[in-house]
Each structure stands twice: as C-alpha cells, then as structure tokens.
Amino acid sequence: MPGIFDLQNFLPFRLSRLAHEVSQRMASTYSEKFDIDIPQWRVLATLSAKEPCTAQSVVSSTRTHKSTISRAVSSLTETGWIERAPSDEDGRERLLRLTTEGRRKFNELVPVVLAFEHSLYAAMDQESMQNLASGISALENVLEVGTNSAKSKKVVL
C-alpha cells in the first residue's frame, strides 16, 4: 500500500512556485517603466557593485547561463546602458562598465525593486521574515549556491 504523496508540501515544488510568483510580481513593478528583463537586471546589479567586471564574473556570481548573460550584455550595450571594452590583461575578456546613462537608470530602478522587496517583508511578521532568510541561507549553503565561498574553498585548496 503506497503512502500518499503531498505535492503541496513538497519543498522543490513550493520553492519553484514561490520563486515564479515573486519574479512575476517583481517584473510587473518595473516592466512598464523600464524595458529590461531579468537577465539584464542581473547584469546591471552585478556591475553596479563591482566595476569593471567580465561577463564570466557575472555568470558565476549570478549562476545564470553564459549564453543568457551574453545576450543580456549585448542588448544592454545596444541600448547604451553598459559599455564593453577590450581587456589589456586578457584578449578574450571584455570589461563591462555601466555608462553614465546606465548608472542613472539603474539608480532609478533600485528604489522600485527595493520597495517591492520591502512590501513582501512588510506583509510578513518580523519572525517569519528572519526565518525565511535564515532558512534560505541554510539551503544555499547545502547546495553551495550563494556566496561563492563554497566554490572558492574548493578552488583555493
């Protein structure tokens, strides 16, 4: 007699559904004002913190497929939000930087997405919010996602 399986309680399913819902809603908060998609957003956010930066670096810090990042970089370059410059150290690399315009737009975008994130937290009580953050961190560690400390550890050793 096989036990019953409860999809509604199954972690991978719940995570996937939740992430999808959150992404959808977040995209809708800025898609009208700013014509960018999620991969583009990830490139901008990464560059905003660490500039200049290679596409490969964006790939590893966001864990997004390199072809996706490549296309996001191309389109952002076309629209003038970022610049690609050859690297002196390594001829294969291209150093990415936000343009003045790109940084200006990004600075407009940030408050919008932060407001969205805040609206999620605000609707939860403090304790649930901290539970979520710490639970996610724990799972990130298990999967060696997140801070690339895990990967670094391997590489360094």
User: Closer to DNA at the Cβ: 1 or 156?
Assistant: 156
Residue 62, contacted partner among a second copy, DNA, none, CB below 5-8 A by kind: a second copy
Nearer to a second copy (CB atom), residue 33 or residue 86:
33
Output 86 or 115, the one with its CB closest to a second copy: 115
Q: Distance between terminal CA atoms of the chain?
A: 49
DSSP 114: H
Structure tokens at 156: 């360094």
Task: List residues near DNA by CB under 7 A.
Answer: 20, 37-39, 54-57, 59, 64-68, 70-71, 73-74, 84, 90-94
DSSP structural state of residue 89:
S
Q: How many other C-beta atoms can be found within 10 angstroms of the C-beta atom of residue 59?
A: 19
Least separation in angstroms between residue 77's CB and a second copy is 20
Residue 154 interacting partner from a second copy, DNA, none (CB closer than 5 to 8 Å by kind): none
Q: What is the signed CA dihedral for 93, 150, 110, 122, rounded to 10 degrees?
A: 170
